[in-house]
Amino acid sequence: MNDLLYNRKTAYIAVFLMILTSIFILGGNSLRREYTRILNVAHGQNMLGIDLEFESNLVLANSANLLVVAGRYLDASDNRIVDIRTILNEPGSASNLSDWEAGFDAMARVIPIVDDLLRSFNDMDISPASANHLTEIDSNIRAAIRRVNQSAYFSMAEDFNRTLQNPYTNLIAMVRGVREFQIVSISWGE
C-alpha cells in the first residue's frame, strides 16, 4: 500500500486530479457568479432598475389591448390577429426557457406583427377614441423597447455566451448547471 502512495505515477495523477478539480470548482464558481449577476440585471437589480419580465409583460398586455381595438375594424381571421393571439396564448417557443425568458421570447416574436398591424391603421378611418388607444399602445410598446435596449442585459449576455463557446468553459458550465442566455432581436418601426 505504501508503495502505491510513493509511486511517482500515482503522485502525478493525484496532483493532476487536484488541479483539474480546483479548475472546475474555481471556474464553476466564477461562471455561476457571472450568470447570477446577469440574471440580476434581467430582473431589474441594476442601476437603471429595468426588469425585463415586467417590460415583456407590458408589451404583451398592450398587444392584447391592440387585439381589442383591431377586433372593431378588422376581420377576426386576419393573419396578424391570429398570429398575435397564438403568441399570447402560447408564449414559450422552447421548452428549456424560464418563465421570464419565455415572455421575453414572446415579446420579440409579437413586436413585428404588432408594428405591422399598427401601421395598417394609418390608412383606415377610425374613431378618435380608437386612435387614442392606438397611440397609447404604440407609445407604451416603444417605451418598453427603449428601456429593454437601455438595459445592460444584451451586452452582458452576449459576452457570457461568447465565453461559453470555449469547449473547456462549456464543459465546466455543463457540470455546474450554467447555460447560455437567450438573445433576441428587438426592433420597432424600421
Confidence at residue 2, expressed as pLDDT on a 0 to 100 scale: 58
Sign of the Cα torsion 98, 101, 106, 109 reads: negative
The per-type count for the chain, helices as H runs and strands as E runs, is 8, 0
pLDDT at position 95 = 61
Apex 7 CA angle, 6 and 10, nearest 5? 110
* Its pTM surpasses 0.75: yes
190 residues of the chain, pLDDT tens digit each: 456 556 778 778 888 888 877 777 777 788 888 888 888 888 887 777 888 889 989 999 999 999 999 988 888 888 999 999 999 888 655 566 677 788 888 888 999 999 999 999 988 888 999 999 999 999 999 999 888 888 878 888 888 888 888 887 887 788 777 888 777 767 665 5
Q: What is the pLDDT of residue 90?
A: 80
Closest CA to 59 of 97, 22, 113: 113
Cell of 124: 383606415
Q: How many whole angstroms separate alpha carbon 34 and alpha carbon 85?
A: 36
Return the pLDDT at 4: 58
The label of the residue with cell 407609445 reads 139
| Cα 39 to Cα 180: distance, rounded to the nearest angstrom | 11
Across the strands, what pairs with 142?
Answer: none
Q: Break the chain into its structural domains and give their ranges.
A: 2-176
Predicted pLDDT of residue 26: 73
